[in-house]
Amino acid sequence: MTKPAFPLTSITPIACAAALLAAGAVHGQESDSPAPQTLQTVVISASADASAEGLTKAYSGGQVARGGRVGLLGNVDMMDTPFNATSYTQQLLQDQQTHSVADVLQNDPGVRVTRGFGNYQEMYVIRGFAANSDDLAYNGLYGILPRQYVATELLERVEVFRGASAFLNGAAPGGGGIGGSINLLPKRAGNAALTSVTAGVESGGQGYAAADIGRRFGPGDRAGIRINVVRRDGDTAVDREQRELSLASVGLDWNGGNYRLSADVGYQDHRLTAARPSVNVNAGVPVPAVPDGGSNYAQPWTHSNERDTFGTLRGELDLAKDTVAWAAFGARSGQESNILAAPRVAAADGTAAMYRFDNERKDTVRTGEVGARTRLRIGTVGHAISATATGFWNDSRNAYAMSNSTAAGMFRTNLYAPVDAVAPAATYIVGGRLDAPGTTGKTILSSYAIADTLSLLDERLLVTVGLRHQRIRDYSYNYNTGAETSAYDESRNTPVAAVVFKPSKQVSVYANYIEGLQKGMTASGTGVINLGETFAPTVSRQKEIGAKYDAGTIGFSAAAFVTAQPQAYVVDNVYGLNGEQRNRGVEMTVFGQPVRGLRLLGGVTFIDAEQRRTNGGLRDGHDAVGVPDRQLNLNADWDVPGMRGLALNGRVAYTSKQYLDGANLQQVPSWARTDVGIRYLASLGERTLTLRARIDNLFDRDYWASAGGASGAGYLVQGTPRTVAVSATLEF
């Protein structure tokens, strides 16, 4: 079978975009005289996506922004967005001394953090649906960043979009985008020169050093460069666990007045040794009591290493007044090497068994998008029209090897008294060659979309309608022979309809209907008679209503939503779409600076995650695995009166009970955690010194942080123990 080439556009989206640009160009020519051709000094705004407007402005208090990227609609102010989203700023990332995207999302009441099944991949549960780090977008492009862990030193902002997003962003390659999606913005050089050096240490002796340098230069300071270098190394607060990170990135940009260019190149090497694994629990066994927070039941010979090189190039061109075209391309080369072993608990006393699992993985990703956007007015109705075409291509090479994983062949340990075993030979089952993994899968996504936001009643009423045509191609190959084992090629149209009404400048109410889209599942499992059968893409449907209030110094949002996602499992030895997970919920958030010197950020989320149409109705009405009923976050940051430069901060996070199994017989207790911090800014001549100290899990609570995530499976991830971090940042 001939493999398809990497698709970026097709005749249909090109024609659509051409018509859009022509309309915008005519509109611009009718109302504006030609722009002068002489090069003029321009005011440079930091812009990760090469847009003329730059980043959306920070809200009062500086911890979140007023808006962010809403897929092909571009940057939209929060009061004009018919969705619920939060954009966390670099100020918050720095003040909390965050390490990764997961650390940032500890602030979000709609998100809980877990791991991938059997590995250390960060996974984010948004509105009760998992989104793994494969599905993080980097400046709007999927698949560019490392797929297990992303260091926040790379980032200017972390944008969390709550809700299904297939129309806005296209289908996510890892199957996420049902409960929400995450877009990460790279750093850019600002107008002021920046030279920042940071050094720090954490519990266990983890050392940290970083440099952040930004400059603008050239005619009118049109060119910019931002360089970041990071090194972490040493033990963590978990006994015997070691972490090592090496990171380097360069961000370039050029503002040519009527065109803008940006580029990013990055390298990240992240290594874990004897990292504490997730815990599996046999059916019928009560959820074990939580071990001491600093204990480690990992085998000393386990490790998880990931090394990635990635880059992007983006450009935007002003074709006429209010009409722009853009293009972006990106690529990543990633390599992963793992030796894993996770305990499976067989009794309440912590008795467990383990086996060894090795795997090697190499990914080659290419992705891109082209698009255009214009604004025009027809009579009393304004139109903001956007069109885009996207493409994604991934060649994944994998190999694995296992020790004896039968009950008799596994080696024994105990959750509360771990036993270090001699590493068994990983020869029981072998797939491919670990020293030269072959291609086992290819994923090819292509789509084109068009949207129109109509503004009426003096822009107090905004109506958005649009449609995306998504094509999903997926190919699987035998680990040992390389022969094609399955081929999948399906298409689907994904619509959106949304409305915003602003009765006043401070209030907006909205409603939306939007869908999530995942590639079709493939029949698998022991004894399945339709083994290998592929299914059409699964569609998740979301309905949402909400309201937002902007008092200038403090903002509030509230949303009620319902999302239904098809579930697949085996009935009478036939694998099929036989159930549904329906999540209904209400989320409320608060952010801003209600009084000078006091910054608030937090909220609460209530979720009813119900299983429906299960096999024989036996689990109908039961809670979905790993989804708590209530999530609460509240973060406060306070400038101490009379002590210039001194600030205190604290955060409380609460998560209600969860279930480890679909029958709801294994209940995971609720937990609450308190984090505190302090910082002090001092002037040293023309330099600024910032001292920061933070204690996460102040009261050293032992807790199971999550109860599943990947593919609806239940497994326990233990929360980190009390962790102290101190750092000093000197800015030249």
Residue 11, domain member (yes or no): no
Range of the domain at 402: 67-731
Residue 368, domain member (yes or no): yes
Residue 245, domain member (yes or no): yes
pLDDT tens digit sequence for 79-89: 999 999 999 99
pLDDT tens digit sequence for 11-35: 344 344 444 444 444 444 343 434 4
CATH code for the domain of 236: 2.40.170.20
Q: What residues have CB less than 8 Å from 33, skipping those under 6 apart? A: none
Instruction: Specify burial of residue 408 (Cβ count, 10 A radius: 0-12, 13-18, 19+).
Output: exposed
Answer for the pair 517, 524: CB distance below 8 angstroms, yes or no: no
Residue 22, domain member (yes or no): no
pLDDT of residue 531: 66
Instruction: Please compute the mean of the pLDDT values over residues 151-170 and round it to a whole number.
Output: 95
Residue 300, domain member (yes or no): yes
Q: What residues have CB less than 8 Å from 472, skipping those under 6 apart? A: 171, 443, 444, 445, 488, 489, 490, 491, 492, 517, 519, 520, 537
Residue 140, domain member (yes or no): yes
pLDDT tens digit sequence for 371-410: 999 999 999 999 999 999 999 999 999 999 999 999 899 9
**DSSP β-ladder status, 137-138 and 111-115:** unpaired
Instruction: Please compute the mean of the pLDDT values over residues 591-600 and round it to a whole number.
Output: 97
- Position 42 confidence tier, pLDDT thresholds 50, 70, 90: very low
Answer for the pair 597, 637: CB distance below 8 angstroms, yes or no: no
Instruction: Please compute the mean of the pLDDT values over residues 240-269 and round it to a whole number.
Output: 97
**Strand, helix or coil for residue 15:** helix
Instruction: Please compute the mean of the pLDDT values over residues 678-696 and round it to a whole number.
Output: 95
Q: Is the pTM of this model over 0.85?
A: yes
Residue 48, domain member (yes or no): no
Average confidence score pLDDT of the chain: 91
User: Strand pairing partners for 280?
Assistant: 344
Of 340, 320, 363, nearest in space to 27 by CA: 320
pLDDT of residue 722: 98
pLDDT of residue 525: 60
Residue 5, domain member (yes or no): no
Structural domains in the chain (count): 1
Instruction: Please compute the mean of the pLDDT values over residues 419-448 and round it to a whole number.
Output: 95
